[in-house]
Structure 1
Amino acid sequence: MQRSVTKSPDDRQQRPLLALAFAFFSVGLASLSVVGLGRAISAELHIMASQTALLVAAFAVIYALAALLVQSVFGHWSRRRLLITGLGILSVGLLLSAGAGSFALLMVARAVTAVGGAMVGPVASATGSLLVRPERQGQALATVFGGFTVASVLGAPLASVLAPTIGWRGVFLALAGVGLLGALLITRHLPPVVSGQRVTLNTYRQGLSIRGVRSTLLVTLLQMAALFSVYAVAGSYLGGRFGSSAGWISVTLLGFGLGGIVGNALSSRAVTRFGSHNTLLFTLLASAALVASLLIAPTVPWLGLAVFFLWSACANMFQAPQQARLINLHPAERGLMLALNASILYLGISVGSWLGSGLLPHLGVHHLVWPALLLLLLAAVIGHHGSRSASPATPALQ
């Protein structure tokens, strides 16, 4: 009986971490679900199907900029207030998206949604790292970022399934409800956490001047650009390279998302056993090897599924130790470090999407992965050199 009423500190930390993960889940759905709504939106608003890709790019660019500005304008707010406000703005943006009567208004609504998301993502990660003992920070970061990983699995497929039934506007309404539920969970389960500080231009300059920070952020940019240079055009790539039918493409994208969940779940264990540096280096080199295999793999759809699953698993093992490394480089400004990482992460999504859509007509499906391979190898070299030459302020987070 005693066991049912007595909870360890780790037990008490789990609900706040799950609430933060759900908040990140809300951001991920708002960001990625639009991929599954492209055809429905283009048909109703009478635009080219390719134009809907701008809805992803616009979100990514605005998020990248807003993640930095939020720290300057609202960095001194309590983390709970910032998260609830961000989820509220996110939901407002989704409601505006549901009511948009033109593509231009929909783009504006996406910008509002991105600002709300930028107030949530980096703050959720920073808050999660403050709720646990230092030796468990890697696990906490993996838990919180796991919300985004799950959204990457459910977002586009769920939206594409729901759109014929409730319409793309109905999907945006439902996503707004998810955002409001996230705000409620934060209100109920997040304990008081020390507030951050308003970040000035000088703070950014000092943070970026710390040895290892710029190279670490560059690795994030290269890793995400490599991934999205193929993923952004996954349908066209899989169909042309592996002869995948529409059904196989859907299954492969689902496998890609499931691989992300597996990789995120394994990341904290890998860091605990092998350390952040070795884990990061492994994810980059393993990803490069998988991309190289795409150059020689036979034209069989199930091979495309297998490689995409494994690449996603490796890619999602990357984020938790990368965030932990940035916190370790500048523990006093963890919110700033994670905001910079989130900004660069979404910038990498934009760069990769632009590379994929721009290079596919010129390189063709058989050679499209060459840029991704080169980006990953460059990231591995920079990451290895930067990690060895950096001087962290505290012992490396494991």
Structure 2
Amino acid sequence: MDKRLLVLASGMFAIGTDSFVVAGVLGQVASSLGVSVALAGQMVTVYALGYALLSPVIAAAAAHWPRKRLLLAGLVIFVIGNVITAVAPSIGLVLASRLLAALGAAMFSPTATAAGASLVPPEQRGRALAIVVAGLSSATALGAPLGTFIGGWLDWRATMWFVSAIGALAAVGVAWRLPLIPTPPAVSLAKRLAPLTDARVLLTLATTWLVYAGLFTVYTYIGSSFDRATGGDGRVLAGLLLLWGAAATVGNLAAGKLTDRFGSRFIINASIAVAALDFALLPWSSASLITAVPALIVWGLCGWGLVVPQQHRLISIAPSAAPLLLGLNSAALYVGVSMSGVIGGAAIALVDRHSLGLIGAIFIVVALFVAEQAQRRIVRPQQLAGSASAGAA
């Protein structure tokens, strides 16, 4: 396997771990800093929203930077942000450091995927992208559970040191193994955002946003919402996250074959509908370990099985703009994740924390209707074209 691609995947692994591990140690953060779990949950909001908003800005502003320099700078800033989080004495500094880490992630992630594709011949680009993006999916299956286990064994600051360490190792790998990469043609911010004027694209992105806002409303506060199943034991929670991550990886891999066989519409609608039902039942299924296990497996399979068909739908709308559309889809996902911290925090203050699944299910159900609206917009031009052809004949 190409070691250059593995180096890029290692950086994605560090960034993905940082995205998902905070949920597993949120209770410890709140207790350590003397704040509510809802306020500590804004660590997720700041990081995800910072990443979503900064990614297109950085991509346009740093378009002329050498790629290797941009990748290294991103990882260095990412590590510094996490080191500050690990030593921060107050929630204010913790939140500021999360924004700094998000800046580093925004510099690295989009650049890494584009760099991975540029390192191989055109006929191998799909495989190259799969290897680089595998760093993110493996973070859900391994990085987040391991970080959560470290938090349960030591404390949450040790978890942030763990994230800093893997980020530093990835930076060493980039500096040592990655060659100089040609700088691609610059694309302005206006051009990057131009696809948002297409209603089909906007509705598809809205589907991603709503689904992941719903899914992560529970995930961000999973330590609190699943406390009956874990008994408050961080090691049990780490085991559940490991199971969730494994299911997410399987769902992500299986979604490609299923989408090719059944089409994106069927897989999108089926994934969303099953996830909505699963979340509606979480107030009861999260009450014990026996029922929490299958609930998390279904969640992982459906939640991450949605990514590929959503990408497929976007590419089918405008194949020539695929890189821009996939970047916007990633941003929409992170905007949804960022909203989850606020939504879940407000829900905990107003309703029982074990009812977060019902709140998440509402967003997921709305996403199903939005997905169908997107499908209708996509099919309509094809129907009109077919009618015009028939008329001409």
Please tell me the TM-score bracket, short chain as reference. Answer: 0.7 to 0.9
Q: What is residue 103 of structure 2 aligned with on the other side?
A: 115
Please tell me the residue identity of whatever aligns with 2:63. Answer: G
1:32 to 20, 24, 30: 20
The residue type paired with residue 317 of structure 1 is: G
Whether the aligned pair in 1 keeps the contact of 2:248 and 2:300 (CA below 8 Å) is yes
How has the CA–CA distance of structure 1 residues 202 and 368 changed in structure 2, closer, same or farther, with 3 Å as cutoff?
closer
Would the alpha carbon gap of residues 358 and 56 (structure 1) be closer, same or farther in structure 2, given more than 3 Å must change?
Answer: same
Distance of 1:15 and 1:300 partners within structure 2: 43
Tell me the equivalent position of 1:320: 308
Q: Which residue of 1 aligns with 2:145?
A: 157
Of the candidates 187, 192, 209, which is equivalent to residue 221 of structure 1? 209
1:210–1:329 CA contact under 8 A, matched in 2: no
Structure 1 position 91, deviation (Å): 1.1
Q: Does 1:82 align with 2:73?
A: no
Distance 1:24 1:357 in 2: 28
Partner residue, 2:171: 183
Please state how far the C-alpha of 1:363 moved relative to its aligned partner.
5.3
Q: 2:50 is matched with which residue: 56, 62, 67?
A: 62
| Superposition deviation, residue 384 in structure 1 | 2.7
Instruction: Give the equivalent residue in structure 2 for 1:375.
Output: 366
Q: Which residue number corresponds to residue 359 of structure 1?
A: 347
- 8 Å Cα contact 2:38/2:344 also seen in 1: no
- Rounded to whole Å, the distance in 2 between the matches of 1:35 and 1:312 is 15
Change (3 A) 1:33 1:236: closer
Partner of 1:311 in structure 2? 299
Asked if the contact 2:146/2:238 (under 8 Å) is kept, the reply is no
Secondary structure of 1:348's partner? helix
Q: Which residue of 2 aligns with 1:261?
A: 249
Matches within 5 A, 1:108-257: 108-131=96-119, 139-163=127-151, 167-190=155-178, 193-210=181-198, 212-239=200-227, 245-246=231-232, 249-257=237-245
3-state SS of the aligned residue for 2:226?
helix
Q: Which residue of 2 aligns with 1:394?
A: none
For these two proteins, the number of residue pairs brought into alignment is: 377
1:323–1:341 Cα contact (<8 Å) kept: yes
The percentage of counterpart residues that share the same residue type is 29
Q: Tell me which protein shows more helix as a share of its residues.
A: 2
Cα distance in structure 2, aligned partners of 1:232 and 1:352: 7
In structure 2, the residue matched to 1:6 is none
- 1:309 is displaced (CA, Å) by 1.0
SS at match of 1:120: helix
Query: What is the CA distance between 1:145 and its match in structure 2?
Result: 2.6
Shift of 1:166: 5.6
Structure 1: which 5+ residue stretches go unaligned?
1-10, 392-398
Distance apart, 1:51 and its partner CA:
2.4
Are the aligned partners of 1:80 and 1:193 in contact in 2 as well (CA < 8 Å)?
yes
Corresponding residue of 1:7: none
Query: Quick one: which amino acid aligns to residue 26 of structure 1?
Result: A
Query: TM-score by structure 1 length?
Result: 0.80
Between the aligned partners of 1:78 and 1:332, the Cα distance in structure 2 is 24
Say whether the 8 Å CA contact 2:203–2:370 is kept in structure 1. Answer: no
In structure 2, relative to structure 1, the CA distance for the partners of 1:42 and 1:234 (3 Å cut) is closer
Residues 279 and 89 of structure 1: CA distance in aligned 2, closer, same or farther (over 3 Å): same
1:363–1:389: structure 2 CA closer, same or farther, 3 Å change rule?
Answer: farther
Question: Could you tell me which of 39, 46, 66 is aligned with 2:34?
Answer: 46
Question: Hey, what's the Cα distance between the residues in 2 that align with 1:184 and 1:71?
Answer: 23
Pick from 307, 321, 324: which aligns with 1:336? 324
Q: 1:138 to 1:235 in 2, by over 3 A?
A: same
> What are the ranges of 5 or more consecutive residues in structure 2 without an aligned counterpart?
383-393
Measured at CA, do residues 136 and 324 of structure 1 come closer, stay the same or move farther in structure 2, by a change above 3 Å? farther
- 1:145 alignment partner AA: V
Shift of 1:72: 2.1
Provide, for residues 309-350 of structure 1, a one-character-per-residue CA deviation record: whole Å limited to 9, x for no partner.
122112212223434554565555555333322221111012
Q: What is the aligned partner in structure 1 of residue 385 from structure 2? A: none
Correspondence for 1:93 among 81, 97, 107: 81
Task: State the SS of the aligned residue for 2:184.
Answer: coil
* Letter matched to residue 126 of structure 1: A
Shift of residue 27 of structure 1? 0.6
Question: 1:39-84, CA deviations, whole angstroms, 9 ceiling, x for partnerless residues?
Answer: 4434443333432212111111211111121122113334333222
Normalised TM-score (structure 2): 0.81
Question: What amino acid maps onto 2:167 in structure 1?
Answer: G
Matching residue's letter, 1:28: G
Q: 1:274 to 1:29 in 2, by over 3 A?
A: same
**1:211, 1:390 within 8 Å by CA — same for their partners in 2?**
no
Aligned to 1:284: 272
CA contact (8 A) 1:91 1:176 kept: yes
Shift, 1:130, TM fit: 4.5
What residue in structure 2 maps to residue 72 of structure 1?
A: 60
CA shift for structure 1 position 201: 4.2
